[in-house]
Amino acid sequence: MTHNKKIVFTQKQIQLYHSIEELQKFIVSATLTETEMAQQIDMTKKQKEKLVSEIYFKDKKKKEFYNCADGRVKSYNPQFIANSKSQLIDKLYDYYFHHVLNAVYEDWIHYRAKTKIVSGKTIEEDIGIWKRFIQDSEISNMQIAEIKPRHLIRLFQSWTGNGLITRKDFNNRKSVLNGIFRYAVLNELIPYNPITSISCNELKFKMPIAKKKAYTTKERAMILAYLDTQKPDAYVLAIKLAFYGIFRIGEIKALTWDDTENNMVNIRQQLVEERTLQEDMTLSTPYRILKNPKGNPYYSIRTEFLPQEGVKVLKKMKELNPDGTLLFMHEGRPLTTDTFNRRLKKYCTELGIPYLSSHKIRFTGASMLYDAGMKAIDIQPLLGHSTLNMTQHYIGERVQEQDNSQMAQILG
């Protein structure tokens, strides 16, 4: 149990708290008659009321709750309102003992994992952010209702300093806190999200380093030529196919193909590695699962047409794996993204080319189509995007070698 920083619990109150918690566990797990159940519940209610009253009324002159005109019952400092005194006691009990930010964070994570409103990858990333940047901060062990904008701005300033992190890194951290506070508001643990009261205009951010998002056409040609010299296995062929199309890596891993389809590839699924959140807030070992392609299935389930070089890759893979359920299998097992990227990095290193991950191959292909004159609105369905804005993030990357001599020519 974590104590509120403004409340000092006596040893007797702590013992009473543990007694209530044990009684509640006993009621849930024990086999009781109706009479026994009623007795245990009544005992728990009385102990809760005794404990909450001791804490709530300690420094108050008035020793009873406020009765509203509509029949509801209200408390002040902390302020809660409920339909009955018993419900108000429960809210105050949770406020004093259960609603530490760390506990609400765990509830929020479990809720999202159970409802699957976000991907497992997103949950994994949020857990990482919590552990690295929030878990050891002063607000982690505070009651969520006691966290004020001043506490948050202190935390934000400790993150950013005089330009320690980029705005993007800051927003990633803040979004985790935003999610927790929104969850607390929806579950009536707090009346409002304190982050909404904070202006971040005074914070200083590090300028982001411009990142290369695509291979140049020269680098692409070098990689494809190098792969032609390698013994063709599933990973060599999968990397080649990625450069001949604009697939997601998960779509290549889940691909099925028949010779009769010629150069047509139907994208109906993706193969991903996922991890399940466990009760102790750890993640299970990765397991593979087939699911709809990423994004809105109306857009992401699609058909693409490959150049002849891409078709040759598919035919070669079919020779190596004629009977596999999935086309791309290596030594009898589906491909993994990690191994795909390790291989790609190895080949880039051997060629002296800056390594970019498998996802950046999609940027390369999309930008080549755009440079060749294809309109963004026509590239959108090929990428499987539901919005044109998303496609515009992928196209227009530099795929031609930069000519720095232009500056000298112009200024000269």
Please indicate whether residue 99 or residue 195 has the higher confidence score (pLDDT): 195
289 bridge partner residues: 272
pTM: 0.69
3: confidence class by pLDDT, cuts 50, 70, 90 = very low
156: confidence class by pLDDT, cuts 50, 70, 90 = very high
Given a cut of 70, whether residue 298 has pLDDT beyond it is: yes
The proportion of the chain whose per-residue pLDDT surpasses 90, expressed as a percent, equals 62
* Spatial distance between the Cα atoms of 94 and 104, rounded to a whole number of angstroms: 11
410: confidence class by pLDDT, cuts 50, 70, 90 = low
Residue type, 327: L
Q: Is 96 helix (H, G, I), strand (E, B) or coil?
A: helix
Tokens linked to 280: 């102790």
8: confidence class by pLDDT, cuts 50, 70, 90 = low
Largest CA distance in the chain: 97
68-96 mean pLDDT:
89
Given a cut of 60, whether residue 26 has pLDDT beyond it is: yes
Given a cut of 90, whether residue 186 has pLDDT beyond it is: yes
Look-up of token digits 């990428």: 383
| Cβ atoms of 14 and 1 closer than 8 Å | yes
256-285 mean pLDDT:
86
Angle at 326 between CA 360 and CA 317, to 5 degrees: 75
What is the pLDDT at residue 7?
63
Given a cut of 90, whether residue 21 has pLDDT beyond it is: no
What is the pLDDT at residue 384?
94
User: 117: which residues sit within 8 A by CB, 6+ positions away?
Assistant: none
353-369 mean pLDDT:
94
CA end-to-end span of the chain, whole Å? 72
What is the pLDDT at residue 387?
94
361 bridge partner residues: none
* Spatial distance between the Cα atoms of 239 and 363, rounded to a whole number of angstroms: 14
Mean pLDDT score across all residues of the chain: 89
Residue-wise DSSP of 124-146: HHHHHHIIIIITTSGGGGSBGGG
Please indicate whether residue 22 or residue 159 has the higher confidence score (pLDDT): 159
Please indicate whether residue 208 or residue 260 has the higher confidence score (pLDDT): 208
230-243 mean pLDDT:
97
What is the pLDDT at residue 4?
42
User: 103: which residues sit within 8 A by CB, 6+ positions away?
Assistant: 2
328: confidence class by pLDDT, cuts 50, 70, 90 = very high
* Spatial distance between the Cα atoms of 66 and 89, rounded to a whole number of angstroms: 13
Tokens linked to 142: 């505070």
| pLDDT one-digit tens code per residue, 200-225 | 999 999 998 878 899 999 999 999 99
| Cβ atoms of 370 and 379 closer than 8 Å | yes
| Cβ atoms of 130 and 103 closer than 8 Å | no
117-124 mean pLDDT:
88
Regarding beta strands 80-82 and 73-75, do their DSSP bridges make them parallel or antiparallel, or are they unpaired? antiparallel
31: confidence class by pLDDT, cuts 50, 70, 90 = confident
Tokens linked to 247: 């697939």
User: Which of 49, 368, 397, 371 shows the shortest CA–CA distance to 217?
Assistant: 368
The proportion of the chain whose per-residue pLDDT surpasses 70, expressed as a percent, equals 95
Q: In what order do the strands lie in the sheet with 66-67?
A: 66-67, 73-75, 80-82
For the chain, give percent helix, strand, coil, nearest 5. 55, 10, 35
**Lowest-pLDDT range, 255-264, 276-285, 290-299, 393-402?**
393-402
Please indicate whether residue 407 or residue 350 has the higher confidence score (pLDDT): 350
